[in-house]
Amino acid sequence: MAGILEKRRTLHKQLAEQQYTNDQLQSQIEQLQTLANLGMVSAMIAHEINNILTPLENYAHLAIQNPDDEALIFKALRKTAANSQRASKILEAILSMTNDQDQVKTDCRINALVDDVFLCLARDFARDNINVSIQIPEDLTVRAQPVCLQQVLMNLILNAREAMLPKGGKLTIRAGQSHDSVMIEVADTGCGIEPDNLAKIFQPFFTTKDNKSKSERPGAGLGLAFCKKVVDGHNGIISVESEPGRGTTFKIILPKDS
């Protein structure tokens, strides 16, 4: 009898020790996940701020190169001020998004968001032989976090542009609604995506822009990962259809009451 009791006590002790080790491991995993998440957030913030910094630099150069054009200098300064403000808003928005805090959503006019992206980009699409067609009902709105949704559109538009260089092509941005959702589409007639890569493009750090040719800007592989995070955060869906050599269409569906 005493032997059995002793064995039971030993088993209990072993069990408690195992439980303790398990708890320790679990807490280490959680700490590692927090660190990984933090790394990802930092990378995404850097990526989106960089998207804003590039046009900022372009405007500053434009002003420096045209010291006598007062109107241009004034425009460049206005853009610089607006983009700097956007950069700090982006920081705030991404931080609250990744901390799982409730996003402040407003009714955003999709047309206004798209116009703002083009204003912000400081790139002349016509000069790149890219014909832009925007087909969005004038007063179509979607309930969303405006800064983040705008960055999503910017990433899709930048990708479309890069896919069509240097030849040029057509960029079409469409939007529409059904009774319970709003759809936004960004379509290009660029290089398309190889079927093997289609499943990987939303993964963080997947890129084919590894700067083989000097004319191409190296990619971080974070644009689409960011888009997916934002769309997921709005309980929406982002999908892609592509045909190598013909073009690519990204489609976002957002619930009306997200």
The residues that touch ligand ATP, with contacts defined as CB under 6 A, are: 47, 155, 159-160, 163, 188, 190-193, 197, 201, 206-209, 219-225, 248
Cβ 152 to Mg ion, closest distance in Å? Answer: 11
Residue 256 CB, nearest approach to ligand ATP (Å): 27
CA 221 to chain centre: 10
10 Å CB burial of residue 211 (0-12, 13-18, 19+) is: exposed
Any idea what DSSP says for residue 214?
Answer: T
Nearest CB to ligand ATP, comparing residues 23 and 243: 243
Residue closer to ligand ATP, measured from CB, 63 or 222? 222
Q: Which does 188 bind (CB under 5 to 8 A by kind): Mg ion, ligand ATP, none?
A: ligand ATP
Q: Output phi, psi for 174, to 5 deg.
A: -120, 155
Cα–Cα distance between 27 and 84 in angstroms, integer? 39
> x/- string (CB under 5 A) for Mg ion, residues 148-187?
-----------x----------------------------
The total of other beta-carbon atoms located within 10 Å of residue 175's CB is: 20
Smallest gap from Cβ 190 to ligand ATP, in A, equals 5
Please list the alpha-helical segments (H only) found in 99-134.
Answer: 110-121
163 binds, among ligand ATP, Mg ion, none (CB under 5 to 8 A by kind): ligand ATP
By CB under 5 A, tell whether 248 contacts Mg ion: no
Pick left, alpha or beta for residue 205 (phi over 0 → left; psi -120 to 50 → alpha; otherwise beta). Answer: left
Of 109-138, binders to Mg ion (CB under 5 A) are: none
What's phi and psi for 189, nearest 5 deg? -110, 40
By beta-carbon proximity to Mg ion, the closer residue of 159 and 189 is 159
Instruction: Name the minimum Å distance from CB 172 to ligand ATP.
Output: 12
CB 18 within 8 A of CB 24: no
Q: Which of residues 195-234 bind Mg ion (CB under 5 A)?
A: 223
| Rounded distance between C-alpha atoms, residue 193 and residue 197, angstroms | 7
